[in-house]
Structure 1
Amino acid sequence: MIRAFTADDMNTVINLWLAASIDAHDFVEPDYWHSKIDTVRNDYLPASSTWVYCEDDEVKGFYSLLENKLAALFVDPKHQQNGIGSELLQHAIAQQDDLHLTVYAQNFDAVRLYKKHGFTIQGEQVNMYTGHPEFIMTRA
């Protein structure tokens, strides 16, 4: 079930985001992700429209939209490769069809997921915080 994020989900979503970020981005030092916890908690999540995927009262994934930008899509590493990412992405597309996003070029699983759902690479840039290349992808 996908439902709207509530304040009660905050700690669970932060922990899920941290675990999934470290797991998916092994080319970025874990300290970087730890240094971003307060920013995610205090800035990104409150500013975005966030939805969580729950099963048996357990949050297994979430996504966040900032207008038509898919700012985040994360699935708990223990529950990946079970279709949760696709369900979350389909839900996000239903909310905002003309989405765009950035994704690390080395995050091959995420790039594959986005392409599967109609996103195309429009360009490439270097992430100003990590120095790693990322793709700019759109779905129109």
Structure 2
Amino acid sequence: MIREFKENDLNRIMELWLDTNIQAHDFIYKSYWQDHFQEVKEILPGAIVSVYEDNGVIQGFIGLMDSYIAGIFISKDQQSRGIGSQLLNHVKKNHRQLSLKVYEKNKRAVDFYLREGFLVTDKQEDKETGEVEYEMAWSRK
């Protein structure tokens, strides 16, 4: 079931955020994510967050800032089961256009977004990590 974020979801959401970032970005130092944890924890409640919950346990979430997807995070043991697509389709219903940034080396995520109809619109270096990232966009046809 997809539902909107509640304040008491924050700790589980942040656990998913940290674990998923470390797992998906093994080319970036773990400390980078740990150093940004508190900042994200403070900013996140200001975003539009939808969570995927199964049997009372949050298994994933998507965060939006206007029409920018700040990220989709799915529990490691629940990945590749359609949860990311469900969350993405949930936000697509209310937006004509969406954009995001994803690291080029995060091949799994790049492939996911391409399958979901996103196109690469730009390529640049993330100044903080030194990694190449794609800007990607989707628009309703």
User: TM (normalized to structure 2)?
Assistant: 0.95
1:99 aligns with 2:98: yes
The CA RMSD measured in Å over matched residues stands at 0.8
CA separation in 2, counterparts of 1:54 and 1:95?
Answer: 20
Deviation of residue 97 (structure 1)? 2.8
Letter in 1 for 2:45: P
Deviation of residue 46 (structure 1)? 2.2
Name 1:13's counterpart in structure 2. Answer: 13
Structure 1 stretch displaced more, 93-102 or 3-12? 93-102
- Give secondary structure in 2 for the equivalent of 1:28: coil
Name 2:77's counterpart in structure 1. Answer: 78
Which blocks of at least 5 consecutive residues in structure 2 are unaligned? none
Deviation of residue 93 (structure 1)? 1.1
Deviation of residue 86 (structure 1)? 0.9
Name 2:125's counterpart in structure 1. Answer: 126
- Give secondary structure in 2 for the equivalent of 1:99: strand
Q: What is the total number of aligned residue pairs between the two structures?
A: 139
Deviation of residue 96 (structure 1)? 1.7
Superposition map of 1:41-120 within 5 A: 41-43=41-43, 45-120=44-119
User: TM (normalized to structure 1)?
Assistant: 0.96
CA separation in 1, counterparts of 2:124 and 2:87?
Answer: 25
Which blocks of at least 5 consecutive residues in structure 1 are unaligned? none
Deviation of residue 94 (structure 1)? 1.3
Letter in 2 for 1:61: G
Percent of pairs with identical residues: 35
Letter in 2 for 1:80: Q
